[in-house]
Amino acid sequence: MAICSAYPNRSRPLNLVLRLALGFLLVNVTAGLEGAFAQADTVPAHLRVQYDSAYFAWDRGDYVQSLQLTERILTTPGGERLSDRIALLTGELYRVHEVAPDGRFLRWSPDGRHFSFETGTGGDVQTHLIRIEGGRPQKVAEFDGWNASFSPLGGSLAHFRTPETPALVRARERERRAVAGGSRSEIREARREIAELESAAAEIIIREVAGDEVQVVPAEGIERFGLAYTGGGDLILVGRFPDDGERIDLFLLQGDAAPRRLSEGPGNKGRTVVPAGPDRIVYTLGDDSIAIHDLRSGSAVRIAGRMPTVSRDGSTLAYIATVAEAEPDLRRGEAVVGADIRATGQANALIVQRLGSNAAPRELKRTTLPLADLALSPSGNLVAYNTILRDDWEVFVAETNENGVDRRLTTDIQHDLFPRFLSEDRLLTLMGEARHRRSYVYDLSLDTQDVPATLLPGDDQRGRTRLFHNNTIRTVAPQYEWEPSPDGTRVAIVADRDGNTLSAERGVFLVDFSEKVGVEDLLERIRMQREAETELRTWGREVFAPIEGTVRDATSEVDAGRVYDHAHALYQFGSKFITQPGNAEAIEYLERSLRAMGYEPELQWFEPRPGIRSANVVATLRGTERPESIHVVSSHFDSVEGSPGADDNTSGTTALLEVARVLANRPQPETIRFAWLTGEEAGLLGGRELVRRALADGDRIVSALNNDMIGWTRSHRLDNTIRYSNDTIRDLQHNAAILFSDLITYDARYVLSTDAQAFYDAFGDIIGGIGSYPILGNPHYHQRHDMLEVIDHRLVAEVARTTVATVMRLANGLDLNHR
């Protein structure tokens, strides 16, 4: 169900994004989402054996062998029965249509025939209208405007359109100057001013979906923040009169009549607005109350609660309330959780209420754990929600009837978030951190107590299916927005499908559950993947051949025990944020360790903040032939203030210490500069300082590797992501891992908001390095429980081996434009 939620996906801090709750039931999409179990018993035994081998070859990173086996299976009679599993092993199961190279802010019409998205920034925002024709997306219109909201029958849509006034032009110029100057306070102030000017100047437009007819709706004197349709087709404006101060209200817009204020009293109404049938809306009052507003009588009932959601048929409301504390539920692990509200003497309660009846609200759950992200099934018979049992968010599903059966749905150590019902028995969830989320669909109809006798590797007893991929072996595809169609048969997605997070564009894609990838297309995918992987490995063997023996000797000396010894010592210092004593203690430890290796470390002292002194620690291995060519290998050693930072980034710190030790007596033709950077968590300050000094000294930096968060793994696999700008360095690092380590590597074009950004800005396309897989997927990221015991030090050692091999080959001279 769609709701009205604050702050669209651009800098409009006062504007609200209104996402309609559609008053229509979803149809069951079982035809396109049947579980994989159904086929297992029918697969011939010899093919099951081959699939078992293919699956585990893929699991250990032997992709060529796996692809050879899967091709053999699919070209053998009966092999098509394994096509779904092979599709999910190698990429996507469902057909994906590319709608546009860029877009955001997805919205579906209630009839499912159209959806919209936005492009552009500042005063140049356009809305694009897409029609589903013959199962395919077709663009039908493009117009100036933003924050589109479809009417209940889908025949029209309302949106804002902002004329570019002289005041807005001046404000946008101030924003550009602030961004160029890097002042965060000036940027915030400029964007606040822009948002206020846009809200005051925005026109309210209603346009016909099937034609060009446009109506301008008057709302004289009201600042405009959001739009939503009621279930009966009336248009609601969320806004305020300038003299009302912080008070924000809901206004009913009807034709040429003056807007009529619906809400009463002070405060901010309408951060969330949800239609509940044709004659009722539910909206928030501040942060702790909810209003159920009868549009016929004009009466509104106020209840204490937050995060309201309404079922698509308008029958059921669910929300979270703060109540008296309950006894901890030891079965749920509540006694060991620190991230709760127990200290306040209060608890969170999950409440459901049948609307339009005399039934009293029903409390389904009371807990001191956090509750969030409620979602009701179309009929209101089920409610999904998020909670934290220990370290990460999980999704639970509960019945809303008297039985109130509550079951845990997700079990991954990564965060599972934002459940959305596709139908009564299909649930869409997201996994991971915001910069690398992935989507999954769960089949709620599966009885996990009645598992089929024949299971194959990878079969998920919870009925979980990956929704989106890019059909490559190694490139990740971060996803950012998801919007299911009203009937649950399609999902529109905004993603960097090519793994390029450096470009501003994020593609718009449409996943169609009714259309699976066919066997012929799957065979074409497999052959292309095998060809690409074979070519990658062939190139790598050729590139490393001249120095393979010396590289192998060096990488064989990497010692996980030494990595752990450094990590244990650094862990004793606690937080290494620039304001904490642990920062100076870490600097001293790094200097002492490097001197013991034979280096003469340089301490680059500076003031990252007024009155705060810290230093980068730099050690140089001078080149024997071309010392003027410098290859930088860096990691930041600081952590956030409230965390010891075992993964972020003591893991990178210790790997770099081991790389420096192994290479200390192995100088290369070109210079290698090892840099332990301070102040990353305070704003990438150490990297900028090192680059500033390098530019001032006229240094010729020809490559820069930056490792950050490399020590956490979600399973037995030793895997990490190459974060790069340069294609040659990317492929070199893949092959360094393949040839000289047990590391499995993926890749993303990714340098922003890392220490590598300073090198990229100053020296261009020279970036490589390694970070976590999934990117920032570690649930301990920036938490107090980012502790030593969550680190796999063998994984850190494998990253060190890969880094040794990579920088040795770079420092022997390599054309970075080769790939």
DSSP-assigned beta bridge partners for residue 107: 116
If pLDDT is split at 50, 70 and 90, which confidence band does 462 have?
Answer: confident
pTM over 0.85: yes
Say which residues have a Cβ less than 8 Å from residue 549's Cβ, sequence separation at least 6: none
Say which residues have a Cβ less than 8 Å from residue 236's Cβ, sequence separation at least 6: 227, 228, 229, 230, 250, 251, 252, 253, 262, 273, 281
Structure tokens at 749: 């074009």
Phi, psi of 72 (to 5 degrees): -60, -40
pLDDT higher than 50, residue 207: yes
Ordered alpha helix ranges (H), 223-287 = none
pLDDT at position 735 is 99
Say which residues have a Cβ less than 8 Å from residue 361's Cβ, sequence separation at least 6: 303, 351, 352, 353
Q: For residue range 740-777, what is the model confidence (pLDDT) as tens digits? A: 999 999 999 999 999 999 999 999 999 999 999 989 88
Nearest to 90 by CA among 68, 67, 69: 67
Q: Which of 39-53, 105-119, 544-558, 646-660 has the lowest mean pLDDT?
A: 39-53
- Longest CA–CA separation in the chain, Å: 86
pLDDT at position 3 is 36
Q: Could you identify the residue written with the tokens 């009925």?
A: 463
Calculate the CA 151 to chain-centre distance: 30
CA-CA distance, 270 to 254, in Å (whole number)? 19
CA-CA distance, 670 to 506, in Å (whole number)? 38
Q: What's the rounded mean pLDDT across residues 61-74? A: 98
Give yes or no for a contact between 397 and 407, defined as CB atoms under 8 angstroms apart: yes
If pLDDT is split at 50, 70 and 90, which confidence band does 333 have?
Answer: very low
Calculate the CA 411 to chain-centre distance: 18
pLDDT higher than 80, residue 27: no
CA-CA distance, 87 to 525, in Å (whole number)? 9
pLDDT at position 327 is 54
pLDDT higher than 70, residue 366: yes
Structure tokens at 162: 């902002």
pLDDT at position 311 is 95
Phi, psi of 595 (to 5 degrees): -65, -35
pLDDT at position 244 is 87
pLDDT at position 164 is 87
If pLDDT is split at 50, 70 and 90, which confidence band does 4 have?
Answer: very low
pLDDT higher than 70, residue 438: yes
Q: What's the rounded mean pLDDT across residues 585-610? A: 97
The CA dihedral of 521, 526, 716, 563, to the nearest 10 degrees, is -130
Q: For residue range 298-318, what is the model confidence (pLDDT) as tens digits? A: 899 999 999 999 999 999 999
Considering only residues 21 and 233, tell me which one the structure prediction assigns the higher pLDDT. Answer: 233
Q: Could you identify the residue written with the tokens 């249509």?
A: 97
Q: For residue range 476-518, what is the model confidence (pLDDT) as tens digits? A: 999 999 999 999 999 999 999 999 999 999 999 999 999 999 9
For the chain, residues classed under CATH 2.120.10.30 are 4-29+95-162+202-208+220-517
pLDDT higher than 80, residue 279: yes
**Which three-class secondary structure state does DSSP give residue 266?**
coil
pLDDT at position 343 is 53
Please give the share of the chain, as a percent, with pLDDT higher than 90.
76
pLDDT higher than 80, residue 21: no
Say which residues have a Cβ less than 8 Å from residue 669's Cβ, sequence separation at least 6: 623, 624, 625, 626, 811, 812, 813
Q: Where does residue 731 rank: exposed (0-12), middle (13-18), buried (19+ CB within 10 A)?
A: buried
Strand locations in 678-734 (E): 700-706, 719-724
Q: Which of 331-345, 415-429, 776-790 has the lowest mean pLDDT?
A: 331-345
Structure tokens at 699: 């240094």
pLDDT at position 447 is 64
pLDDT at position 266 is 87
CA distances (Å), 718 to each of 64, 85, 435, 671, in order? 18, 23, 21, 30
Cβ neighbours of 650 (radius 10 Å): 30
pLDDT at position 30 is 34
If pLDDT is split at 50, 70 and 90, which confidence band does 113 have?
Answer: very high
pLDDT higher than 80, residue 16: no
Considering only residues 323 and 803, tell me which one the structure prediction assigns the higher pLDDT. Answer: 803
pLDDT at position 336 is 35
Structure tokens at 520: 């012929």
pLDDT at position 463 is 85
Phi, psi of 422 (to 5 degrees): -90, -35
pLDDT at position 246 is 86
Q: For residue range 214-233, what is the model confidence (pLDDT) as tens digits? A: 999 999 889 999 999 999 99
Q: What's the rounded mean pLDDT across residues 445-451? A: 65
Question: What class has domain 4-29+95-162+202-208+220-517?
Answer: mainly beta
pLDDT higher than 50, residue 689: yes
- Exposure letters 81-120 (e unless 16+ CB within 10 A, then b): bbbbbbbbbbbbbbbbbebbebbbbbbbbbbbbbbbbbbe
Q: Can you state the percent helix, strand and coil of the chain, rounding each to 5?
A: 30, 35, 40
CA-CA distance, 305 to 284, in Å (whole number)? 9
Phi, psi of 138 (to 5 degrees): -130, 130
Q: What's the rounded mean pLDDT across residues 554-563? A: 98
CATH superfamily membership of 532-810: Zn peptidases (3.40.630.10)
DSSP-assigned beta bridge partners for residue 282: 274, 292
pLDDT higher than 80, residue 112: yes
Structure tokens at 510: 């449409």
Q: What's the rounded mean pLDDT across residues 781-786? A: 91
Cβ neighbours of 10 (radius 10 Å): 17
pLDDT higher than 60, residue 569: yes
pLDDT higher than 60, residue 739: yes
For the chain, residues classed under CATH 3.40.630.10 are 532-810
pLDDT higher than 70, residue 25: no
